[in-house]
Structure 1
Amino acid sequence: MNFTFAHNNLNVYDLEKSLDFYQKALNLKVEREKLADDESFKLVYLTDGVTPHLLELTWLRDMDRPYELGDNEIHLAFAVDDFDAAYRKHKEMGCICFENPSMGIYFIEDPDGYWLEIVPGK
């Protein structure tokens, strides 16, 4: 029996705002969408166009407030081929929330408060 990663899920409060952020900040594109028959939720799968791994954004129609993320100790990591250019872009966007120069990494924060780690590509 073998298991492989399929996707990670993040619930988002404002789907359009989140889609705009992930496109601008990380160049992710919509691969596919699924709207529930009763329109109570929408799933949007984002791809980097390179790896098979997907990010699933879930929007729930009846969610009437931003999500409470607790201690926010979970994150996704993204490798980038031009770390300095990515850093400048994220600085301009104002989304860098934590920097660790000694490790050579930093984190950006999406509209819902999720942290995304940015690491130099290998």
Structure 2
Amino acid sequence: MKNLILILTLVFSSYYSNAQSFSLEHDHSTIQVENIDKSVEFYKNILKLEETETPWPENKMIRFFKTGKNQQLHVAQASVDIFGEVKVNKVLHLAFAVNDFDSFLRYLKEKGVNYSNFSEESNKIQTRPDGVRQIYFQDPDGYWIEVTDAKH
């Protein structure tokens, strides 16, 4: 009987350790855009994201940008025939953190990018209950982008 309990314990502990042997990490997000060139210009020149190679270098209808350690943003040319109309809202947004929030605000003003708080009060900063400051603005396709001074 002791041997049976020992064998069952080993079998079940092996099963549970294998069942939880992964670690989920964010890899990438993809957005679809109406004008790939205009969007690529925005993500490269306004957000200063570094473009990286795709598995399909000859296909310029999808572009990859580095957004952090082993993370990317994929920007894909929309095909209305296949995907339908691009619809966006503020709840579904991209979020980034910066190490110098005040410099970033000055940079956006220099570039003519209007920002707001979540309630869309122009040039207003929102402060979360944990003290993190945040703003929102839109890319050329209307996708909302949140930028915070969160320390990660």
Q: TM-score, normalised by structure 2?
A: 0.65
Report which structure shows greater RCO (CA 8 Å, sep ≥6): 1
Mark the CA change 1:23 to 1:66 in structure 2 (over 3 Å): closer, same or farther. Answer: farther
1:47 to 32, 49, 66: 66
**Corresponding position of 2:49:** 28
Greater fraction of residues in strand? 1
Mark the CA change 1:77 to 1:89 in structure 2 (over 3 Å): closer, same or farther. Answer: same
Greater fraction of residues in helix? 2
Contact 1:79/1:121 (CA < 8 Å) preserved in 2? yes
Unaligned runs of 5+ in 1: none
**Corresponding position of 2:36:** 15
Give the drift of 1:27.
1.1
Give the count of matched residue pairs: 117
Q: Name the CA distance, whole Å, in 2 between partners of 1:98 and 1:66.
A: 26
Contact 1:77/1:116 (CA < 8 Å) preserved in 2? yes
Q: Can you list the C-alpha shifts for 1:55-83, whole angstroms capped at 9, x where unaligned?
A: 010113x43897232x3421111111111
1:63 matched to 2:80? The reply is: yes
SS in 1 for 2:54: strand
**Corresponding position of 1:113:** 142
Higher Cα Rg, which structure:
2
Q: Name the CA distance, whole Å, in 2 between partners of 1:80 and 1:113.
A: 21
Q: Name the CA distance, whole Å, in 2 between partners of 1:85 and 1:95.
A: 14
**Corresponding position of 1:95:** 113
